[in-house]
A and B are shown apart, each in its own frame.
Chain A
Amino acid sequence: MMLVDEVRSEFTRSRRRGVLIGWLGLTAVFAALVGTLLPGIVADGPGGPATGPGVSFPSLTQLQGSDGLTAGLSTGAAMFGVITLAFWAVLTASDHSTGLIRLLASAQPRRWRLLVGKVLALTVWTAVATVVALVVTLGIAPAAASSAGVDTSAWSSATPGAVVTAAGDLFLTLLVWGVIGLVLATLTRSAAIAVSVGAGYVLVVEGVLSSALGSLGDHLPGATLTALAAGGTATVTHATALLSGAAYVVVGLGAALVVLTRRDITD
């Protein structure tokens, strides 16, 4: 059952300079962007900025609280998520577009092992991306908050546990985003379609659906991802978000597994 060979193989293939610089670089850039702009946006008005699809700004009170140091992680979670979805999709779809899947399936005919190895390897890269986002956020947040006149005196009481929890919530959120990308790429064998459908649904389409579905909309993927990243929202508890996220991962990977193992490889 040990999947070391499959994980090593996927690591070797994914450890490309362009991919890693792109994924981790974009994550760092967006973390810096969010970290820099967030305090100013939140401090601008008493009502706080309006939230939108995939965007959840903290209030000024929340930003000044002990958890404010890592607020940028949940605010930028959708951006990080789209990046993660994109790279999971690219690293999945490219196996088909290059025809590499022929070699992979010939070397390892138990295709479920290929899928699981890929998921495990990409999970590790996602953890690295999470650490990058965390490091940049922690580095930028104090200076940006000070520059915007936000009181950060409570930030010094932030415990390492709270920081790890915030990073953990982001990691789990990115994991769900990534699996969405992998599943769509496996089904469509196209990174472009996977990214446009995945990001488009979560950021745009779900907003429309939520309006029609009422409270049921709280369990849709986008709402789940937002609640997961924020450690829970007013309408979705953290535990509910964890369960829903896990369900999406299991169902999604199950579908990908069935398609990958049953489909003829004509690429």
Chain B
Amino acid sequence: MLRVRNLKCYYGKIRAINGVSLSVRPRELIALIGANGAGKSTLLQAICGLISHWEGEILFEKVSLRGFKPPAIVQRGISMVPEGRMLFAPMSVLDNLRLGAYLRYRRRDHHGIAEDLESVMDLFPILRERAGQPAGTLSGGEQQMLAIGRALMARPRLLLLDEPSMGLAPFLVRLILDTLVRLKEQGMTILLIEQNARAALQIADRGYVLENGQIVLDGAAGELLADQDVKRAYLGKDYREFYEGRA
């Protein structure tokens, strides 16, 4: 569905992504993990058109995305939940959701929009309760739900998420990630970027590990979870094991 081949991105003269290749198949949930500054966000930004200076190849459903601006990419079926949520804080929850369907309003798909509005609010019932409230008054978790709901309103076939767990309490992280699993079960294809590697790999089918702009490891999520290097670098030390291992 999505295929990235030998991608190189530059920030000025600095190469942030250095020859990355990855693929996402239909109905897969892929986790892309890596430390701060590894190039995860840059990669997503290249896919959704926010960065246009890249080399290599990005194909979505066998069509190259080169030269496409973000609106055109949304039109093709890729939606992104950006880092930091980027909600329209003074506008109501409902308006935020509606704006997610901007292109569909332009196509006069009013019936489909009303349907999706319902299903997003079924997915996140709290959004229905707060529909009239300004988005800026929501709590962090609710804002993340709204950000995801807003992206879904475009009815994407591929959903990109940039650090959806950032700044959230553990039980909210759980809730958000469970939602992603449900979306996947409903047929959505998802590419998830996370620093919270353990949580991401627990729900993912496959994972890629990004380091200094390169993929250093990839494989089934379970394998990555068990991998010694990944454990050491991203999952944090399991102190009991560590301690017992020495004793």
A pairs with B: no
Q: Which residues of B contact A (CB under 8 A)?
A: none
